């Protein structure tokens, strides 16, 4: 394994503050909650050191045509809620049974280029005794693993990242949540952006491609214009601080929420409208050097998330615009399984169908043919957490 290096190399990517953040006064903030005092790195160098080429190669592999990410990183508590919805207890028998079903779907690697895991899953075995990591490497490579939540801070992140890399993880994910009703405040946006940037820098230093996830929750009655306004500020701040921390843009992936009205809004918009807002925002805020934009579904129905993705891919753009879905890939499969061994094959076929549908959407070729009523059900849960 290559050792982490503190060496830096020059890049032509220089982010001008005014280009990304209009009319805002920025300062380098310190995150008091984690006692992190930011340094002032040069804007002419980027980090990643000896891992630079590996990071770029891995990010491009994930962002390959017709493929996206299976997010199976629910915490044990949240996994328990999913199991409870089909009448199963949250046990060390049932969790691996569900995860085994997910990772052993034949041919899933044709549509899925990586899987995001909860930390427990990284060290867990399938029901037949094989390491889940080994199964994933056989079918999908590279492998992903999420980082700890914001409340656990950045302390110890470097050592955890190094340990994950040794476990054959090649990616990391950090999710920061912002809410629109009564916010978010300017301070909340800056703190969220700074935390994501520090995580990204630490991940790259240890050989992991960081998935940067600034999620703007669907909760609320706000309009799509309000979502767009907030997302502009959030994405601008995130990329400003990524540049301040000398993060290699070619070695990251962005996992944002889609620009839609609030889930409780009476305004309903078409997939074409959602795509128009998102593509406008991407062109205004995201450097073309970023190889992949892997959208989260955020409580949309399986069909709605696929339709929106398909609408985004009706014309060429500089990025690989794809998916990193959890519920919007797994819901029908979970309900089909119902915890019964005899239903495993049917559940896996449901997951494969969903993955193929999103693969077609990534290519702009999804038609909606063959969709079930279950796939059309809204999955929004107010205040949802992992």
* Residues labelled catalytic: 213, 255
Q: How far apart are the first and last CA of the chain?
A: 32
Instruction: Map tokens 């054959």 to a residue.
Output: 168
| Sign of the CA dihedral with 47 first, then 70, 189, and 164 last | negative
Q: Which positions ≥6 away from 364 have C-beta within 8 Å? A: 310, 313, 314
Instruction: Map tokens 């076929």 to a residue.
Output: 349
Question: How buried is residue 93: exposed, middle or buried, by Cβ count under 10 Å (0-12/13-18/19+)?
Answer: exposed
DSSP string, 47-81: --GGGHHHHHHHHHHHT-TT-EEEEE---HHHHHH
Distance CA 254, CA 325 (A): 13
DSSP label at residue 257: P
Helix (H) or strand (E) holding 307: helix 302-312
Please name every residue paired with 31 in a beta bridge, in sequence order, or none if there are none.
Answer: 36
Radius of gyration of the chain (CA): 20
Q: Which positions ≥6 away from 167 have C-beta within 8 Å? A: 122, 123, 133, 145
Contact between 175 and 386 (Cβ < 8 Å): yes
Contact between 362 and 67 (Cβ < 8 Å): yes
Token pair, residue 239, equals 């990329």
Contact between 213 and 256 (Cβ < 8 Å): yes
Distance CA 109, CA 111 (A): 5
Distance CA 136, CA 170 (A): 12
Contact between 212 and 251 (Cβ < 8 Å): no
Token pair, residue 188, equals 């909340």
């Amino acid at each position: 394994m290559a050792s982490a290096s503190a060496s830096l190399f020059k890049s032509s990517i220089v982010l001008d503050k005014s280009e990304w953040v209009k009319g805002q006064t920025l300062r380098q903030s310190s995150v008091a909650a984690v006692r992190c005092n930011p340094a002032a790195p040069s804007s002419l160098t980027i980090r990643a050191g000896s891992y630079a080429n590996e990071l770029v190669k891995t990010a491009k592999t994930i962002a390959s045509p017709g493929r996206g990410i299976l997010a199976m990183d629910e915490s044990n508590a949240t996994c328990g809620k999913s199991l409870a919805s089909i009448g199963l207890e949250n046990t060390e028998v049932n969790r691996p049974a569900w995860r085994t079903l997910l990772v052993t779907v034949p041919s899933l690697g044709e549509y899925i280029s990586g899987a995001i895991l909860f930390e427990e899953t990284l060290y867990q075995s399938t029901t037949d005794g094989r390491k889940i990591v080994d199964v994933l490497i056989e079918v999908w490579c590279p492998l992903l693993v999420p980082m700890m939540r914001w409340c656990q801070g950045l302390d110890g992140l470097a050592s955890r990242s190094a340990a994950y890399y040794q476990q054959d993880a090649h990616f990391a994910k950090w999710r920061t949540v912002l809410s629109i009703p009564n916010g978010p405040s300017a301070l909340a946006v800056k703190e969220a952006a700074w935390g994501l940037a520090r995580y990204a820098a630490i991940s790259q230093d240890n050989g992991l491609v960081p998935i940067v996830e600034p999620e703007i929750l669907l909760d609320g009655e706000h309009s799509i214009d309000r979502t767009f306004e907030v997302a502009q500020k959030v994405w601008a701040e995130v990329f400003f601080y990524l540049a301040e921390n000398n993060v290699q843009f070619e070695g990251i992936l962005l996992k944002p929420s889609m620009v839609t009205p609030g889930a409780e809004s009476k305004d309903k918009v078409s997939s074409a409208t959602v795509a128009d807002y998102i593509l406008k925002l991407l062109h205004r805020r995201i450097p073309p050097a970023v190889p992949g934009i892997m959208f989260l579904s955020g409580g949309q129905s399986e069909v709605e998330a696929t339709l929106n993705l398909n609408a985004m891919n009706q014309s060429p753009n500089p990025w690989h615009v794809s998916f990193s879905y959890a519920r919007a890939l797994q819901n029908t499969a979970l309900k089909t399984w119902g915890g019964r061994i005899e239903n495993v094959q049917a559940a896996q076929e449901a997951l494969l169908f969903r993955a193929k549908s999103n693969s077609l959407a990534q290519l702009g070729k999804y038609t909606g043919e063959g969709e079930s009523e279950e796939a059309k059900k809204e999955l929004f849960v107010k205040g949802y957490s992992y």
